[in-house]
A and B are shown apart, each in its own frame.
Chain A
């Protein structure tokens, strides 16, 4: 992996910077379309196996093995849907928008391959509502693909697959972070509020319009042409551990060269920041990093040498356990402790000038705003976290606010239908664990907290009102 070739290997961004890369003719001139033709010579089941072998993992945030997700589709299913999650809205993440704008035909080819493997006849792209420019580009690309006979026309498949024909429809969202959650997305696509569904049943069994459904991220699907061309083993080989392929990292915040970079899987945070992105500008020093979108617990400056890879960030002993109280780790169940995760690839770097409490409060306000309101722990809890964290940030915190925030966050995590509740709780606990001194310093500035500290209450001041 450390060879020069591997360091420069581009899969999903290989056409970036090429003039008119969003046009079918340019895509085809650069070799696009061969993978779908090759896929048609394979049996669908063999394709699923190839994707399993590739160790491709979902690039939307969860890192679930794509081949395994596909294999959950019941064999006897008559109608199967493929839905592309292009509702990118995890703060700090800006890759899918670029991928859609620069290479929509690679996505369409990935969708053709996936649909052939899954037996899907009609696939939907759920694109974020605010992305009006990208929606137009993708719509035009779909029209081109229809005109070229790639979509809406029969293709002869092998291995008993018979004739294969795919339709693709672009569906625009309308402004709701929760629709990036796959079952919230499916409800939205069905013309409802984007409320996540109880699981099970999982979408692979009962998804869009009650039919078995696979929901995949844009970047995930765009890896498929290369997997088909070069084989699953090759793709697994260029990755790290159980994570195949390359990884797009979106670096923002206090770095000299922010950007969207396709890099070898498993590059360390330190190499990313100092080698790829030119380090911290303005003579400042690094305070911390969010490794994969705002729902992930941050890393502090002592935790930068761990590879940015799905399993490493969850298990590496060099990363501290996130705590509910000092010394008491947050329990993910089954004895697993929360460290952090690779998430969506949104790396947000912040230097020592950052007001950590205000930064954390802004994250909490985001989740409070985006909570869909369905589950009480998330609806109420995210609002409490936002209000308490903001008052601490303003210097109006009350004694016991740190414990109060940890308590509320602990009450949300694991107690909701979908992961948005966790997405609010985890960074809160992460910031409290890694940057507790910043919170304590803010509280020390608050007249209310100082007054209460002088006269201790029987319960230690915990449970202050908001």
Chain B
């Protein structure tokens, strides 16, 4: 059965389409909405998106595979984006990555069998003054040490288990309180 967008996604798409002079320009936002809803972007979803923004599935495929954040296969609920670029490398970014790999028993690019975690080795994530660092969903984890990583992984796993109990289907990335923006990470104003 070909997939359909939920009513909520349709509403988001309507709003997005109204912001551009043509439909094709809404392709990236619509792909984000599709990935939010379906978790990843297999062929049937690509066809649905193509129909929605009025371009060919081949064009959508080309775009999906160009950008690293669009996934053709299912990723874990918690996507750990671990930076190993130069600023993080100088401060032990690879040690952090290898520690996470060991802890979770998977390599970068892989997903744990329970679907709780995916590890992504990331390029610079613009938090260089707080290296080494990683992102999970909307949460930044800065100035990492192996000990900090252990606590973070335990915390994320506990939250994931609780989510599983409430809705076994799973959802997006980590949750966050966005408005608790205190004086800042790495900001020495």
Interface residues of A (CB under 8 A from B): 10, 13, 16-17, 19-22, 88-94, 96-98, 101-102, 128-133, 136-137, 140, 167, 169, 171-177, 188-194, 209, 250-254, 257-262, 290, 294, 346, 348, 350, 354, 359, 362-363, 366, 369-370, 372
Contacts and interface: CB of A to CB of B under 8 A. Distances in A.
Contacts of A190: 24-25
B28 A13 contact: no
Nearest to B128: A252
A-B interface, 7 closest residue pairs, ranked by CB to CB distance from nearest = A191-B27, A175-B68, A174-B67, A252-B128, A175-B69, A252-B87, A16-B189
Contacts of B189: 10, 13, 16-17, 262
B97 to A, nearest CB: 13
Contact of B187 (A189, A260, A294, A363): A260
Contacts of B187: 13, 16-17, 98, 102, 259-260
B126 A258 contact: no
Contacts of B171: none
A92 B187 CA distance: 15
Given A171-B28, A252-B131, A16 B90 contact: no
Interface residues of B, number: 58
Interface of B: 19-22, 24-29, 31-32, 53, 55, 59, 62-63, 66-70, 81, 84-87, 89-91, 122-131, 135, 137-140, 173, 176, 178-179, 181-189
Nearest to B91: A253
Given A89-B123, A129-B67, A354-B90, 4 more contacts: A175-B68, A258-B129, A260-B188, A294-B85
A348 B131 CA distance: 11
B131 A16 contact: no
Contacts of A136: 138, 178
Contacts of A129: 32, 67, 69
The listed residue with most B CB atoms (<10 A of its CB), out of A94, A167, A176, A354, is: A94
Given A17-B189, A94-B127, A348-B87, A191 B140 contact: no
A93 B86 contact: no
Nearest to B69: A175
Contacts of A348: 86-87, 90, 128
